[in-house]
Amino acid sequence: MKLLCCLAAAFCLVTAAQAQDDGKAVFERVCTKCHNLTSTARQRNSRERWSAIVDDMVARGSEGTDAELEKIVDYLAKNLGPRIAVNKATAKELATGLDLSAAAAAAIVWHREKYGPYKNLEQLKKVPSLNAADLETRKDRLDFTESK
């Protein structure tokens, strides 16, 4: 039974990674006809804003199926979402903005309240129950500006 659970978990991880790679490939194929990746990568937008941008590009002549456009929005929202102010955000904002579990987000807030603001990623990685590798993949979305 344990082996079956491990195999199922591995399948889910591989499927998620393939979907993410597929989203990137669709984005590159559809969007780089008019835009370079560097200028797009500098933007940080919410899912709603990325959706509006993609809709605008379709209105201007960009082509893609509905499924492809949804993959593009998913890819952009996940990888180029807004920066999260780690030292100001609520647990809900952390969970939503960084795609973390509610428990992990609550641990970040609890640790911040007990030990003070985070100065950098290395300090954040020390929060018990957080996966350092997951944080590493989201590091470009973290803002360590101290709250006032």
The full set of domain ranges for the chain reads 2-79, 84-143
H helices within 32-101, ranges in order? 37-41, 47-59, 66-79, 91-98
| pLDDT, tens digit, 9 for 90 and up, residues 3-48 | 433 334 333 333 344 445 688 899 899 888 888 777 787 888 888 9
Residues 6+ apart with CB under 8 A from 26: 64, 68, 71, 72, 75
Q: How confident is the model at residue 147 (pLDDT cuts 50, 70, 90)?
A: low
Which pTM was predicted? 0.62
| Neighbour count for residue 20 (Cβ, 10 Å) | 15
Q: How far is CA 127 from CA 17, 40, 95, 98, in A?
A: 26, 32, 15, 15
What confidence tier does 148 reach under pLDDT thresholds 50, 70, 90? low
Mean pLDDT in residue range 104-121: 96
| Domain 2-79 CATH (choose: 1.10.287, 1.10.760, 2.60.40, 1.10.3470) | 1.10.760
**pLDDT at residue 45 in the model:** 87
The three-class DSSP label of residue 142 is strand
